[in-house]
Structure 1
Amino acid sequence: MMSQINLNKRKPVWVALSDLFLDTDVTRYYENIVRVCVESDYSPEEIRLILFDEVAPAVSKNLLSVAGEWSGFDKGWLIEEIIRGIRRKKPFFGFLNKWTKTIGIKHYLKEHWSVLEPRIVALRDGA
């Protein structure tokens, strides 16, 4: 799968979407997330999959931390963590990915995505 991903195209989307996992009011990052997603040529469905399948497994554990990251993830670390998760299916990563898709994080992400997706679509449509 890694050979099919254009990293230069993917990295800004990963970084922007990772802001949803900071230990702060993430709604203040919506504008930037929408802008980066609109500037990418990924469809809303592709962006949703990137969020749920690539970004969430790498950083969702931050939401469970008592003193989680609140100012932004180190970009180098973030990108390497996502790439590592894509390249190899570690047992823990696989568990975390499954957990991300089935429990509280899924609801958390759906809530944010239900706001972000229409904004992305509207900007792309020129509304």
Structure 2
Amino acid sequence: MPHSPMNLDTRRRAWAALSELFLDTEVNAEWVARQLRDTGLSLAEIETILKSEVAPVLGANLLSVAGVWDAFDLTPVEARFRAGRSRPTLLGHLALRMIREDWAAVLARLQESG
């Protein structure tokens, strides 16, 4: 399925913001929410991207003893998306459980902005 450059750019910005939830650092929920808000995506679109595109790829970092703590290379997220393999996975589901408090904090800030 072809993707327009604007759509892909917006997705890249969402991937980058959501990837913060999977780093081995404290999450700045306000910053993540602001970045997601600036994409113009709906909450439903953001949640789909989180569950089907980001968590399945980056979730393993939460299980690593020496996880990534500064920034991810998002090439694998994009490659999976371009290959049409964007769907929830068991690893992604586990990762979402591990980030539920941080995601709840981001979600609360997103909902505050209406």
Which category describes the TM-score, using the shorter chain as reference length?
0.7 to 0.9
After superposition, the Cα gap between the structure-2 partners of 1:16 and 1:2, relative to the gap in structure 1 and judged at 3 Å, is farther
TM-score computed with the length of structure 2 as normaliser: 0.82
Measured on the aligned residues, the alpha-carbon RMSD in Å equals 2.4
Q: CA deviation at 1:21?
A: 0.5
Q: Distance in 1 between matches of 2:92 and 2:45?
A: 16
The question of 1:85 aligning with 2:85 is answered no
TM-score computed with the length of structure 1 as normaliser: 0.75
Q: Distance in 2 between matches of 1:23 and 1:59?
A: 11
Q: CA deviation at 1:122?
A: 1.1
Q: Which has the higher mean CA deviation after the structures are superposed, 111-120 or 55-64?
A: 111-120
Q: Is the helix fraction higher in 1 or 2? A: 1
For 1:1-127, list aligned pairs within 5 A.
1-3=1-3, 6-26=7-27, 29-73=28-72, 77-78=73-74, 80-88=75-83, 97-102=88-93, 104-123=94-113, 125=114
In structure 1, what residue type is equivalent to 2:71?
Answer: G
After superposition, the Cα gap between the structure-2 partners of 1:100 and 1:111, relative to the gap in structure 1 and judged at 3 Å, is farther
Percent identity between matched residues is 35
User: Between Structure 1 and Structure 2, how many residues are aligned?
Assistant: 113
Unaligned runs of 5+ in 2: none
Q: Which has the larger radius of gyration?
A: 1
